[in-house]
Structure 1
Amino acid sequence: MLKTYPVPKNLETYYDHPDYISHTDQNKKYIDKIYQFIKTYNLNKKVRLIKKLRTTEKTILDIGAGTGDFLKYAQKDGWQIHGVEPNHQARIKALTKEITLKESLADIPEDKFDVITLWHVLEHIPDLESEIKNIQNKLKLNGYLVIAVPNYKSYDAKHYKQFWAAYDTPRHLWHFSKESIKRLFKPYKLKLVQTKPMLFDSFYVSLLSEKYKSGNNNYLMAFLIGLISNIKGLLSKEYSSHIYILKKAK
């Protein structure tokens, strides 16, 4: 596991940029439209994934819920939803979709949940171990924790090096590998039961990385690197991003 250092004191200001799309639902630029297309595909896939989990009920808590889209999709599928989002602007956007989000985990009722999700959120959490403990306390016995994070051991990460967009410093405070996830959650009796690739991430991350590296979009090169990363991932099992499904044991 890698750590971003130093972390700026005014970290919250890095989330207020108009181009930080997960808090704005922006859909003006061509790259925004690509992001929104991929997001819609992934939202349907995420709901199908949690639907397959064997839970006693259908209660879900989404941490780092952004503008509430995942919870909206889960609600349509019959889930009883709760969500946390620290960013005020994103919470206001969620309200326009009739999704009410809490500012912090401390504001969530004392209920325990069948499923807790963090979609590209774990890498943003400052006090990581303390937050994991709080999350574990909110999860039912035999409940599931579902996490998606970038993988710095992927081909696209190694290819772009310091220009790899999924480092996203300083917003991303932690950078995970598959082994680090397994070790990180083991002391909290959260057992890793499944790891799944996020195949579209390599293409979108490569597109952003090309822009950071050269100042140009380079769509063809981005597509090629994204494709190579997924092909190499078939052998190495090291994809651009992974979904980790963990189960709370006794």
Structure 2
Amino acid sequence: MKENDTYLTVKDHSVSGEIFNLKLNKTYGYLETSPLPSEDKLPQYYKTEDYISHTDTQRNLFEKAYHVVRKVALKQKLKLIDALSTSEKNLLDFGCGTGDFLKVAQNYNWNIFGIEPNEQARAIANQKTNNAVFETIDSARFKNKSFDVISLWHVLEHLPNLQNQISVFKKLLKTDGVLIIAVPNHKSFDAKYYKNFWAAFDVPRHLWHFNQEAMKSLFASEKMCVVKTLPMKYDAYYVSLLSEKYKKGIMNPFKAFWIGFQSNLKAKSSGEYSSLIYVIKNC
């Protein structure tokens, strides 16, 4: 693939209907959305009630199922950070949405802070967490080496100025702290099956599209190492359900379940799950 070649052409199915290209970043191996929206234009692509992570709506069976699965996932996330925590339990959840993960962590004696730029989601999160969520990272509020755990659950792919952001996380993390990042994996079976209809491309809200090699290479540039990779098995079903809608115009739960099941089954040997959690530490 030449540097300027397009890996795939993808449509914004949920908001604008615009067409974007996915191009290979030759340095680290991830895919870039092209053209990248300017930072002042980017918020308009989030203006939809269908963006569930920014609301607590349960208008239909799909959204109700999403919240049921999210409760299970929250318990798994808490179990993960508890296993990784040191003597102190200082948590920063970056891109915390409506604050459900922070609320659960707070209930289990974590000292919580969140960052959420979306005003609507931040207001909901602050109601749940006693105003522990802020719009941006403020150096006067957050000192270097403050956090035992920094988590980004399906957030890294949304962040402009990617390498600058990673550098900030490294500074905020304690020397023996842990960075936990969950992102979609475009080398999964469901991604290859749905191709340009794969919902986890989610252009242009997703600016970057990762695989395991790219994640290792990207964080190695900050002298950080991926020490563990974990699957997010529910994502294969959720993403497949949305992908069916984009491809056929209607949700087909039976077909989506079958594709999601195949994706997880194949990933048992390949390791290429629909979404992956990366546990990252200073090298």
Smaller-chain TM-score range? over 0.9
Counterpart Cα distance in 1 of 2:282 and 2:149: 10
* 1:102 has 2:131 as partner: no
Structure 2 residue runs of 5 or longer lacking an equivalent are: 1-29
> What letter matches 2:106 in structure 1?
Q
Distance 1:248 1:99 in 2: 32
Between 1:129-138 and 1:24-33, the stretch displaced more is 24-33
| Structure 1 residue 187 displacement after superposition | 2.2
The structural deviation recorded for 1:75 is: 0.6
Q: Distance in 1 between matches of 2:103 and 2:181?
A: 18
For 2:281, the equivalent position in structure 1 comes to 247
Mapped contact 2:115–2:135 kept (Cα < 8 A) = yes
Q: State the match for 2:95 in structure 1.
A: 64
Structural mapping, 1:138-153, within 5 Å: 138-153=172-187
> Could you tell me how far 1:96 is from its partner in structure 2?
2.3
Residues 95-124 of structure 1, C-alpha deviations (whole Å, 9 max, x = no match): 221342111123642151000000000000
Root-mean-square deviation (CA, aligned residues, Å) is: 1.1
- Hey, what does 2:25 align to over in structure 1? none
Matching of residue 2 in structure 1 with residue 31 in structure 2:
yes
Aligned 8 A contact 2:85 2:149 in 1: no
Identify the match of residue 93 of structure 1 among 120, 124, 149. 124
Structure 1 residue runs of 5 or longer lacking an equivalent are none
| Residue of structure 1 in register with 2:248 after alignment | 214
TM superposition shift of 1:247: 1.2
Q: Structure 1 residues 186-195 or 123-132, which shifts more?
A: 186-195
Partner SS state of residue 88, structure 2: coil
Which of 267, 270, 277 is equivalent to 1:233?
A: 267
Match of residue 14 from structure 2: none
Could you tell me how far apart the structure 2 residues matched to 1:99 and 1:218 are? 40
Q: Give 3-state SS (helix, strand or coil) of 1:172's partner.
A: coil
The residue aligned with 2:110 is 79
Distance 2:77 2:64 in 1: 20
Q: Which deviates more from structure 2 when the two are superposed, residues 182-191 or residues 149-158? A: 182-191
Mapped partners of 2:57, 2:184: distance in 1: 22
Task: Give, in whole Å, the separation in 1 of the partners of 2:164 and 2:125.
Answer: 27
Please give the alpha-carbon distance, in whole angstroms, between the structure 1 residues aligned to 2:227 and 2:37: 36
Q: Compared with structure 1, are the counterparts of its residues 5 and 55 closer, same or farther at alpha carbon in structure 2 (3 Å cutoff)?
A: same
User: Could you tell me how far apart the structure 2 residues matched to 1:54 and 1:18 are?
Assistant: 35
Q: Determine which structure has the larger helix proportion and give its number.
A: 1
Q: Is 1:119 aligned with 2:144?
A: no
- Structure 2: distance between partners of 1:75 and 1:248: 26
TM normalised by structure 2 equals 0.86
Deviation track 1:162-185 (CA, whole Å, cap 9, x = no partner) reads: 000000001000000001111111
Q: Secondary structure at the match of 1:105?
A: coil
